[in-house]
Amino acid sequence: MSDHTTPAGATAPTGRAWWAPTMGRMTVRARIATAILAAALVVVTVVVWNSPAVSTLVGAEDAPPTAEELRLARENEELQQALWSAEGLNESMQKSQAKAQTERQAQREAQEAAEAQAAADRSAAERAATDAQAKADTSRRTSTSTKDTSSRSSGRSGSGAGAARNAAATAPVAETGPTLPSAPSKAELLSPATRYYGMYTEQAPFNWATFDDTATQVGRLPSMVGYFGGWDQGFRPDAVVRAWERGMLPLLTWESRPLTAANDQVDDPQFSLPVILAGSYDEYLRQYARDIKALGLPLAIRLNHEMNGTWYPWSEVDGKGQSINGNSLGDYVKVWQRVHAIFEQEGANDQVIWVWSPNIVNNLPSSKQSLEALAGLYPGDGFVDWVGVSGYYRPPYKDGQVPTFEYTFDRSLDQLRRLSDKPILLTEVGASEIGNSKPQWVDSFFAGLAAPENADIIGFSWFNLAVSTWAGGELLTNDWRVDSRRDSLDAFVTGIATPAARIGGLPLNSPTS
């Protein structure tokens, strides 16, 4: 509809705007109006095309960008790059998280599988240990005794080893597991390339804390570990396994009496030598041998050591020739040979190094210091692999006693060499701090090992404990430990590193300074 209204009484032409001409000639008025309209359009066109805004728009494509536009463009580009980097980082993080999640899942599955296998292994080991223990129990004689850590008689040069024995008695039987460590053959062990460096501590090989601490201070890990066992116990395979897991030869001091018996208890009728010779312990010994064979790992056994003294129930006579524990001359050798024969019958001797180890003769009663007295206790070369000796520098000191290797060991070593040409192991060694001569004795000890005349000594085992003992009616505390004092430790560290001493073991980075 048009905005123009037709005057009243007029008729509007159909199909033509009010200003459009009729079919006839234009009137003067119409021509004037048309000319005015055309002029107005020309003016508007000129004004519009000459306005600044239009000029700017028309030339925008050809005009150079301003500094502000360039800055904004750079910021825009930087923001775009940052956006792309963020998007890439986000994608990388998502991939890393997915990978980590996959790895954690795999670890959980592997851990669960390992735990299941370990549980199965423990179950198998427990069943095997239970079966072995049950067999040992049926053949074992037990004896109740009071736990005592006092020393033997004052004539003994020994240590008061009750602390180490009692620790072994209370140590729980550990699982050996289905996989055994490797070990050299008995033949390889009998003739070592370097000397054995052994040590006794309160708990080793059942607990390594003190053992490792001492090794760290010395700067050398021992190649032998000593421990004690009694005839009221079955064979401890865990002790042998734990030793060989660290590459160490286990040295078992095996006593024919209860492990927790008092150190000075010499009367124990149930474990007299005649009772053993009557066969009362044969089944126990057979089972012990079978268990050693079944394990298949070598060990050294020091059976009924220091037999030439007067402080153990397997000694034959005292300094006056009187019977100890109902024993008679010759019984000790017969018992040794009987045990050896049973082990041979059961096939265990292929794994056992038999160590015959008396006490040094210096502090014995005069009647027991002769070569003849010692020879009467030697089982024979066919029943022994190594000969050994226990020797300590300890009070009460005698007139003329000096802190040297020669004073402590020479007389006893001479007798051993007269009895046999078997290799010699110093099976139990220590020095007391009492008298302030320990560093000097330690220096002499390693110098003695380096001497050519002692080349047949294949090693030693240090008794690394502090023990209160009775000597000459006086209670003394003998600190046998290598680190009992700084100067004693320094002497030990220097001596064990002496090349001429040829001490084995595993050198550590450096000893504690």
Residue 339's domain comprises: 140-507
Structural domain includes residue 263: yes
pLDDT (0 to 100) of residue 474: 79
pTM strictly above 0.75: no
Structural domain includes residue 416: yes
Residue 421's CB is within 10 A of a number of other CB atoms, namely 11
Task: Tell me the C-alpha distance between 44 and 196, whole Å.
Answer: 119
Structural domain includes residue 116: no
Closest Cα partner for 298 from 180, 125, 384? Answer: 180
Q: Where does residue 279 fall: left (phi above 0), alpha (psi -120 to 50 degrees), or beta otherwise?
A: left
As to burial, measured by CB atoms within 10 angstroms (0-12 exposed, 13-18 middle, 19+ buried), residue 319 is: middle
Structural domain includes residue 367: yes
DSSP β-ladder status, 506-507 and 386-393: unpaired
Structural domain includes residue 382: yes
pLDDT (0 to 100) of residue 53: 47
Task: Tell me the C-alpha distance between 373 and 389, whole Å.
Answer: 15
Task: Tell me the C-alpha distance between 485 and 479, whole Å.
Answer: 9
- Determine contact, residues 457/424, Cβ cutoff 8 Å: yes
Task: Tell me the C-alpha distance between 70 and 85, whole Å.
Answer: 22
- Determine contact, residues 250/227, Cβ cutoff 8 Å: yes
Domains in the chain, number: 1
Structural domain includes residue 115: no
pLDDT (0 to 100) of residue 34: 57
Task: Tell me the C-alpha distance between 329 and 332, whole Å.
Answer: 7
pLDDT (0 to 100) of residue 475: 82
Structural domain includes residue 204: yes
Beta bridge partners of 197: 460
Residue with tokens 């017969």: 334
Beta bridge partners of 388: 425
Task: Tell me the C-alpha distance between 288 and 11, whole Å.
Answer: 142
Residue 294's CB is within 10 A of a number of other CB atoms, namely 15
pLDDT (0 to 100) of residue 435: 92
CATH of the domain at 209: 3.20.20.80
DSSP β-ladder status, 249-255 and 457-463: unpaired
As to burial, measured by CB atoms within 10 angstroms (0-12 exposed, 13-18 middle, 19+ buried), residue 340 is: buried
pLDDT (0 to 100) of residue 105: 61
- Determine contact, residues 460/413, Cβ cutoff 8 Å: no
Closest Cα partner for 311 from 274, 383, 257? Answer: 257
- Listed in sequence order, the residues at least 6 apart from 433 whose beta carbon sits closer than 8 Å to its beta carbon are 478, 479, 484, 485, 488
Residue 493's CB is within 10 A of a number of other CB atoms, namely 20
Structural domain includes residue 69: no
Q: CA dist 357 to 165, 191, 287, 303, 385, Å? A: 17, 18, 24, 8, 11
CA max distance for the chain: 175
Mean pLDDT in consecutive groups of 10 residues from the start of the chain, 513 residues: 40 40 50 60 51 46 64 68 54 52 57 56 49 44 34 47 66 70 98 98 97 98 99 98 98 98 92 99 99 99 99 98 99 99 99 99 96 99 99 91 98 99 99 96 99 99 91 83 98 98 92 56
Task: Tell me the C-alpha distance between 300 and 237, whole Å.
Answer: 13
Closest Cα partner for 356 from 422, 447, 436? Answer: 422
- Determine contact, residues 187/212, Cβ cutoff 8 Å: no
- Determine contact, residues 492/433, Cβ cutoff 8 Å: no
**E-assigned strand segments in 386-435:** 386-393, 424-431
- Helix (H) or strand (E) segment spanning residue 255: strand 249-255
- Determine contact, residues 238/200, Cβ cutoff 8 Å: no
Cα angle value 176/181/182 (rounded, 5°): 150
Q: CA dist 343 to 139, 279, 293, 296, 346, Å? A: 15, 14, 9, 14, 5
Known catalytic residues are 306, 428
Say which amino acid occupies 7. Answer: P
